[in-house]
Amino acid sequence: MRVHGFRHVDFEDFGCIAPALAGRGHRLSATRFYAGETPPGPETYDALLVMGGPMNIYEDVAYPWLRAEKAAIGAAIDAGRPVLGICLGAQLVADVLGAPTTRNAQAEIGWFDVALAPEAAQSWAFAGFPERFRAFHWHGDTFAIPAGARRLMHSEACANQAFALRTASGAKVAAIQFHLEVTAADARVWFEHETPAPARYVQSPARVLGELDAFAQNNRLMRRLLDNWLAD
């Protein structure tokens, strides 16, 4: 399968996703918006992955390519392509589906539990997920749940952590606010670019980077989500 990814900054790549897709025989390509690249049409790929980034989805003036990206996400959904959004990508997908993104009451950075709603285990996206797990978070905004979707996960700091739906076009659309794809090496690079101020739901780099088992567990769940998302 041809999977195409939208990337937003050079230091946030695909994490464990790239080797996971390669190991399953899929091909992964990318549009690097930060490098001035133009997104292709949905006829060139079979599924669309929308990654994270430090900008906000409403910063069109600072990042004018956001408008083109939203149009490309809409085109993918209209064409019936599976779409998966992660963090910023989840917010972009929600926005395209008519649900706003706003500032969350608290920034959430580090390892915090995510709990599944009862219906999540029956959803195509999160089948096989545990009822509660620790996820790696790095966000200050939050998305609303689009019409036709249900809130499938929440954390103490953020009510809307995941949603999934099948659109009228047949597209399988899933979104997560947290980062299952991030490896410990990725997180080290992120902290080289930013050291967030401590807060109630903001952990220190030392605490985050000391959780090697948690990164491994998250990466296993990322592979599960990819398999669910790309299944026929």
Q: Kindly list the catalytic residues.
A: 87, 179, 181
**CB-based contacts of 15-19 (< 8 A; 24+ apart in sequence):** 15/179, 15/181, 15/182, 15/183, 15/186, 15/219, 15/222, 16/181, 16/182, 16/183, 16/219, 16/222, 16/223, 17/49, 17/181, 17/222, 17/226
Question: How deeply is 166 buried, as exposed, middle or buried, from its count of CB atoms within 10 A (0-12, 13-18, 19+)?
Answer: middle
Q: What tokens appear for 35 in the block? A: 């490098």
Q: List all residues 6 or more positions away from 101 whose beta carbon is below 8 Å from its beta carbon.
A: 56, 57, 58, 91, 94, 95, 141, 142, 143, 144
Could you give the strand order of the β-sheet that contains 150-154, starting from the edge strand earlier in sequence?
Answer: 27-32, 2-7, 47-50, 83-86, 172-176, 162-166, 150-154, 101-116, 132-143
Which residues share a beta bridge with 150?
Answer: 164
